[in-house]
């Protein structure tokens, strides 16, 4: 797996965020002969630019907040008729994944529509909590997490190895226990750790309760309760610079040995 975008809410490019990266969420996973892409934040533009020639991929979208979709109109391979993508995502308020993707590229918000310019072979498929997709040697399942408007966490299993991608989730509801069970014994656990406990509760700045994101302290607790291997902090606060990220990681490592923070270009092999 490789991280192409790790920030939350809004891109944060610049010299102060260069080491961890400023692109919004996009994670590449290669399982057997299959290629999977999780979320289409601005990181997917970099991913597309790094590819040589046409290719096929399975795209899974966690939810439709703009930081998880805004890279799609600039994803070069989607304009290549030789490429093929299966795009899966939840149906929300009666709108399918195709409806949402088409809807975000409309006047006056965007100059061209998806139907006008996308030339790749596209297959849109709904995917909901409880669904299971067997793709090559991989098995992908999903559950709902606690986030405004809904969000899917994904579990990817292949050849006895497991990765759980749980971006955009807030702790403090019955879904905490569900996520712990869902992540049970995963080798890699990617978790939304946007805030510290002080930031979340308002002891440092305005409170973030109800915003749909979690903390490093909760990330450690969930990882411990689920018995996962490596905890990967994800969906970094866009105003947190690299030095502050270093301090956050140090704190997390004291709470749970081996914890790391996702950064652009980080590659993990299982």
pLDDT tens digits for range 99-139: 999 998 988 989 999 999 999 999 999 999 999 999 999 99
Question: Containing H/E element for 28?
Answer: strand 26-31
Fold of 2-261: Metallo-beta-lactamase; Chain A (3.60.15)
**How high is the pLDDT of residue 109?**
87
Cβ contact 214:206 at 8 Å: no
Question: For every residue of 84-117, which 3-state class applies, written as one string?
Answer: EEEEEECCECCECHHHHHHHHCCCCCCCCCHHHH
Q: How many helices (H) and strands (E) does the chain have?
A: 7, 13
With b for 16 or more beta-carbon neighbours within 10 A and e for fewer, the 244-259 pattern comes to bbeebbeebeeebeeb
| Count of other CB atoms within 10 angstroms of residue 173 | 12
Domain locations along the chain: 2-261
DSSP bridge pairs for 56: 84
Q: Is the peptide bond before 152 cis (omega within 30 degrees of 0)?
A: no
pLDDT tens across 25-68, in order?
Answer: 999 999 989 999 999 999 999 999 999 889 999 999 999 999 99
> Closest Cα partner for 43 from 1, 79, 102, 101?
1
State the average pLDDT over residues 14-23. Answer: 97
State the average pLDDT over residues 165-181. Answer: 96
**How high is the pLDDT of residue 153?**
98
With a pLDDT cut of 90, the percent of the chain lying above it is 96
The pLDDT mean for the chain works out to 96
């Amino acid at each position: 797996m490789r991280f192409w975008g790790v920030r939350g809410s809004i891109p944060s490019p610049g010299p102060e965020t260069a080491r961890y990266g400023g692109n919004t969420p996009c994670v590449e996973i290669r399982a057997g002969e299959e290629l999977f892409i999780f979320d289409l934040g601005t990181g997917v533009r970099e991913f597309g630019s790094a590819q040589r020639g046409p290719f096929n991929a399975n795209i899974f979208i966690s939810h439709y907040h703009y930081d998880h979709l805004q890279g799609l109109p600039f994803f070069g391979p989607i304009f290549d008729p030789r490429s093929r993508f299966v795009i899966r995502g939840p149906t929300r308020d009666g709108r399918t994944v195709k409806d949402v993707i088409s809807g975000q590229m409309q006047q006056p918000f965007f100059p061209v529509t998806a139907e006008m310019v996308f030339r790749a072979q596209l297959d849109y498929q709904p995917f909901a909590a409880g669904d299971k997709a067997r793709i090559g040697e991989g098995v992908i399942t999903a559950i709902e997490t606690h986030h405004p408007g809904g969000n899917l966490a994904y579990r990817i299993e292949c050849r006895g190895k497991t990765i759980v991608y749980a971006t955009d989730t807030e702790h403090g509801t019955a879904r905490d226990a569900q996520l712990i069970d869902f992540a049970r014994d995963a080798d890699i656990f990617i978790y939304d750790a946007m805030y510290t406990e002080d930031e979340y509760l308002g002891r440092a700045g305005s409170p973030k309760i109800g915003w749909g994101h979690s903390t490093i302290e909760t990330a450690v607790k969930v990882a411990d309760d689920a018995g996962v291997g490596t905890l990967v902090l994800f969906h970094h606060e866009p105003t947190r610079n690299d030095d502050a990220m270093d301090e956050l990681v140090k704190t997390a490592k004291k709470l749970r040995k081996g914890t790391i923070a996702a950064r652009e270009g980080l590659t993990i092999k299982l």
